[in-house]
Amino acid sequence: MTDSDMEMTVIMMIDDVLVVVSSGTGGVDLINSTCKECSDKSANINYNFCVTSLQAIPITHVTNLQGVGIVAMELALENATNTISSIEKMLSSKEFDPFAMNCLRDCLELYVDAITMLVDAFVAFLAEHFDIATVLMRTVMDATSTCDEEFTEKQGELTLLAKENYNLFQLSDISSCIIQQVSSVPSQLTNEGDYQYLQATADCHDLSRHELVEPLIKQGSVGEKNVKGKSEGSVVVMAVVMRMMHYGGGGGGWEGE
């Protein structure tokens, strides 16, 4: 299979995998209750933001926390990739003073690293390494705060990425909360059809974040939209799932970097 064939397969399969993980009824109620619990536990999480964001994904039904968690992390990836595109456009415009340009360059590096951590968190989540996934999501939250702080070092400087940083911080905190909720209950991926797509989640010993993320960045795909209108965050998620399927069966486990 050529690289282009693999890319198209990734694009076409994203709907199928998300539907398999989250098919059923009661999705709206689950999202509402999940957001309520998360906003009660974390003063940083905005309940209305949580509900609006999770319900915006084009999936009609979500029946378990794993499905909600996948949606939340996909949204975080989409936000991060879109923000990279926005930063690149700002840098290309050269409309800002040298201080702001330096801040944008620093934030670009932070967001590229954030995508790497989000991919790692997704793999760890599917492999049920919840502590690792939580730490990675919180590190992404720290990255957004660091980006904000870059601009505030100069008094009176406008924080150009305030909205983007807020959105990613929220989505990462929501994801972290859901990961913790999932870790406290038995696995809900009990349908045999679920394992048809995700059976290799515990066998990701050959995966590294550089294998998954850097080729996408080098190809210029991060931050753009593909021909079928899918966010590149979705494509990265599916790249992870497909690589896990490819390497499955080795009985390894999460090794990170």
Residue 72 covered by a domain: yes
Contact 251, 242 (CB under 8 A): no
- For residues 201 and 107, what is the distance between their CA atoms, to the nearest angstrom? 32
Q: pLDDT by residue (tens digit) across 211-244?
A: 444 444 444 444 344 333 444 445 555 555 444 4
Residue 247 covered by a domain: no
Residue 113 covered by a domain: yes
Burial code of 101-120, b = ≥16 C-beta within 10 A, e = fewer? Answer: eebbeebbebbbbbbbbbbb
Residue 21 covered by a domain: no
* Residue whose C-alpha is closest to residue 47's, from 60, 32, 59, 63: 32
Rounded to 5 degrees, what angle do the CA atoms 140, 179, 135 make? Answer: 35
Residue 73 covered by a domain: yes
* Residue whose C-alpha is closest to residue 73's, from 10, 1, 108, 22: 22
Range of the domain at 42: 3-11+30-242
pLDDT, residue 161, reads 94
Q: pLDDT by residue (tens digit) across 181-214?
A: 999 876 654 444 343 334 333 333 334 444 444 4
- For residues 77 and 126, what is the distance between their CA atoms, to the nearest angstrom? 16
Rounded to 5 degrees, what angle do the CA atoms 170, 20, 172 make? Answer: 10
| pTM score of the predicted model | 0.69
pLDDT, residue 155, reads 75
Residue 250 covered by a domain: no
Residue 181 covered by a domain: yes
CATH code (residue 147): 1.20.140.40
**In the structure, what pLDDT confidence band is assigned to residue 24 with cuts at 50, 70 and 90?**
very low
Specify the number of domains making up the chain: 1
Residue 251 covered by a domain: no
CA 180, 75, 133, 61 dihedral sign is: positive
